Amino acid sequence: MAKSRQQKEQTVAELLGYFGSMKSAVFVNYQGLKVKEADELRRSADKEKVSYTVAKKTLLAKALKSAGVEFDAVTLQGMIGVATAEDEVAAAKLLAEFGKAHESMKILGGVVDGKVIDASAVKALASLPTREQLLGQLVGVINGPVTGFVNVLAGNLRGLVNILNAVKDAKAA
């Protein structure tokens, strides 16, 4: 059944809301996915705090234009799904992992911080570590010299204790 003008405007407003709060968006062709698989994707997206929605290309193009993104969504092939996230990597990582298990879904491209990227850039973005992983690595790098310094100081104390034990043993003998 065809959507009314009011329903279309509501869809554009909803998409504009997603694009207003996002740092990244990924466009996929979900044609060939079964309903069960699409539901699985939506559940995965909810867990990862990624918004996933399906929209007509013309409505998507209007929403992108209103958001100030220069991207012609009408040229995309197939049935279009859009995943948006407040994290630059989350949407790309989610869809890339899901695409490995479900080959009928294909990544078409995306937008990161208002700049359009192609499918290969989205896949490269998906291979990056998450923000939490990067922060953990940073903490490890910062903690490394401190740990080394503590071990050096402890080594001097261990040496002093060994010398004192040797003196004690020499006096006892």
Residue range 13-24, pLDDT digits in tens: 888 777 777 788
Q: Give the chain's mean pLDDT.
A: 84
Is-contact 18 51, C-beta < 8 A?
Answer: yes
What's the longest Cα–Cα distance across the chain?
101
The pLDDT value recorded for residue 1 is 59
CA dist 118 and 12 (Å) reads: 23
More confident residue, 69 or 162: 162
Residues 122 and 133 in one domain: no
Token digits of residue 165: 């034990």
The pLDDT value recorded for residue 19 is 77
The pLDDT value recorded for residue 63 is 83
Residue 61, pLDDT above cutoff 80: yes
Count up the domains in the chain and report the number.
2
> What are the residues facing 130 on neighbouring strands?
none
Token digits of residue 34: 């079964």
Please report where in the chains the tokens 């790309």 appear, as a residue: 92
Q: What is the pLDDT confidence band of residue 33, given thresholds at 50, 70 and 90?
A: confident
Percent share of the chain, pLDDT over 90: 1
The pLDDT value recorded for residue 77 is 83
Tens digits of residue pLDDT in 100-156: 888 888 888 888 887 888 888 888 888 888 778 888 888 888 988 888 888 888 888
**Mean pLDDT of the 52-70 span:** 83
Residues 115 and 139 in one domain: no
Residues 96 and 37 in one domain: yes
pTM of the entire structure? 0.71
Residues 109 and 150 in one domain: no
Residues 124 and 134 in one domain: no
> Which residue range(s) make up the domain with 96?
5-128
Query: Nearest to residue 25, comparing CAs of 59, 58, 71, 78?
Result: 71
Percent share of the chain, pLDDT over 70: 98
CA dist 113 and 51 (Å) reads: 16
Starting at the earlier edge strand, list the strands of the sheet with 80-85.
51-54, 80-85, 24-29, 106-112, 115-118
